[in-house]
């Protein structure tokens, strides 16, 4: 019996546990080689630097590592970073949910364009974002320079510009996560709620938001991670003054440049911790999202 007949007569293929081995003539070494190359590459490019942060932070023992957290400039940078995130994350969450409820599940001309516009901050260099804010709010060169000067309110080299820079680089995450999930849901539940007399606000709060809760939570995590870690845009507008307008990522760079290696690694480990927690939460939320989807399919 020829190979072709053999293959054609097979029943619809069941999901194979390791599909690589189904290739009839593929030599076994390629099945091993591809994962091996993948692991080596990721190991060198990503894992080694990541391990370096952990090893570097504890290089001089736990005592030195803990001492780092009594450094006044580091604590001030940590405080500023958290404060900025505390303003930027809720603002971006409101925008993201509003944009998602406005855009998702609707068909209108220019929808693809609008989605691309929302994604714009991901392709603009953070430095250019910072430059844009300088050109708007600098008292000497900015378009609104006169207004800023007259109001006596400090925007550049102060927290308002840091918050704005952070908002710009991180606002797309929420909408991007929520829109696809919302697109999969139908309007049925919203319509049912409306027939029962719920107003817009009640529908959003009791029906729409719960139906996208995991996606929204993941969007929130991504937004927060980006807000805590932003470097380029904040570096341009903040003035990078230690103890005053220095955020934690700026502190990492500054401390490393000044040869305060322990301080740099201590701050870097805090930020790396945030990144790792956000990745772990991602794994968890992906599972919960999958469960929800299966439940939805079962209902139908």
Partner 1 sequence: MAPSTAHRRLLPTIKLPSWPWRITWLYLGLVLFLPIGGLLLKASGIGAADFWAAATAPEAVATYKISFGLALVASLINGVFGLIIAWALVRSSFPGKRLLDALIDLPFALPTAVAGLALTAVYSTNGWLGAPLLQLFGLEVSFTWVGVGVAMVFISLPFVVRTVEPVLRALEREQEEAAWSLGATPTQTVFRVVLPQLLPAILAGVAQGYSRAVGEYGSVVMISSNVPFKDLITPTLIVQKLEEYDIPSATVIGTVMLIFSLLSLLVINLIQIWGQRYSGELKSAA
Give least dist CB 187 to partner 1, A.
15
Cα-based angle 72, 134, 236 (whole degrees, multiple of 5): 40
Stretch that binds partner 1, among 40-48, 72-80, 181-189, 291-299 (CB under 8 A): 40-48
Lookup: tokens for 69: 């957290």
Give least dist CB 68 to partner 1, A.
14
At 217, give phi and psi (nearest 5°).
Answer: -65, -40
d(CA 61, CA 55): 10
| Given 86, 135, 147, 241, the residue binding partner 1 (CB under 8 A) | 135
* Contact assessment for residue 249 and residue 165, using Cβ atoms and an 8 Å cutoff: no
Q: Which residue has the tokens 């509003």?
A: 98
The residues in 155-214 that bind partner 1, with binding defined as CB under 8 A, are: 164, 167-168, 171, 200
In the complex with partner 1, the residue whose CB is nearer, 37 or 66, is 37
- The DSSP 8-state label assigned to residue 2 in this structure reads -
**Is 117 exposed, middle or buried, given 0-12, 13-18 or 19+ CB atoms closer than 10 A?**
exposed
* 284 is a site residue for partner 1 (CB under 8 A): no
| Given 66, 69, 86, 141, the residue binding partner 1 (CB under 8 A) | 141
* 86 is a site residue for partner 1 (CB under 8 A): no
d(CA 36, CA 24): 21
* 120 is a site residue for partner 1 (CB under 8 A): yes
On the CB side of 188, CA atoms within 13 Å amount to: 6
| Given 76, 178, 265, 285, the residue binding partner 1 (CB under 8 A) | 265
Total residues contacting partner 1 (rule CB under 8 A)? 97
* 241 is a site residue for partner 1 (CB under 8 A): no
Give least dist CB 63 to partner 1, A.
21
* 117 is a site residue for partner 1 (CB under 8 A): yes
Q: Which of 103, 73, 91 is nearest to 247 (CA)?
A: 73
Stretch that binds partner 1, among 62-70, 138-146, 177-185, 191-199 (CB under 8 A): 138-146
| Given 85, 126, 161, 211, the residue binding partner 1 (CB under 8 A) | 126
């Amino acid at each position: 019996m020829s190979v072709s007949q053999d293959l054609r007569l097979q029943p619809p293929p069941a999901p194979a546990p390791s599909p690589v081995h189904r290739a009839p003539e593929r030599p076994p070494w390629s099945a091993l080689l591809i994962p091996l190359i993948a692991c080596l590459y990721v190991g060198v490019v990503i894992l080694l630097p990541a391990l370096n942060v952990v090893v570097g932070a504890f290089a001089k023992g736990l005592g030195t590592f803990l001492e780092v957290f009594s450094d006044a400039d580091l604590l001030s940078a940590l405080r500023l970073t958290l404060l900025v995130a505390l303003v930027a994350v809720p603002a971006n969450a409101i925008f993201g949910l509003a944009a998602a409820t406005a855009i998702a599940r609707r068909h209108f001309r220019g929808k693809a364009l609008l989605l691309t516009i929302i994604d714009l901050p991901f392709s603009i260099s953070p430095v250019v974002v910072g430059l844009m804010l300088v050109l708007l709010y600098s008292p000497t060169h900015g378009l609104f320079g006169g207004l800023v000067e007259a109001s006596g309110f400090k925007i550049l080299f102060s927290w308002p510009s840091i918050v704005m820079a952070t908002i710009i680089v991180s606002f797309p995450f929420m909408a991007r996560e929520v829109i696809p999930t919302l697109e999969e849901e139908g309007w049925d539940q919203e319509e049912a709620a409306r027939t029962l007399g719920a107003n817009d606000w009640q529908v959003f709060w009791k029906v729409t938001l719960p139906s996208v809760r995991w996606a929204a939570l993941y969007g929130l995590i991504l937004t927060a991670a980006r807000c805590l870690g932003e470097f380029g845009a904040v570096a341009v507008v903040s003035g990078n003054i230690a103890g005053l307008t220095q955020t934690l990522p700026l502190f990492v760079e500054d401390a490393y440049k000044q040869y305060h290696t322990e301080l740099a690694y201590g701050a870097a480990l805090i930020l790396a911790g945030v990144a790792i927690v956000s990745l772990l939460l991602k794994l968890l939320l992906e599972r919960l999202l999958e469960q929800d989807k299966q439940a939805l399919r079962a209902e139908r």
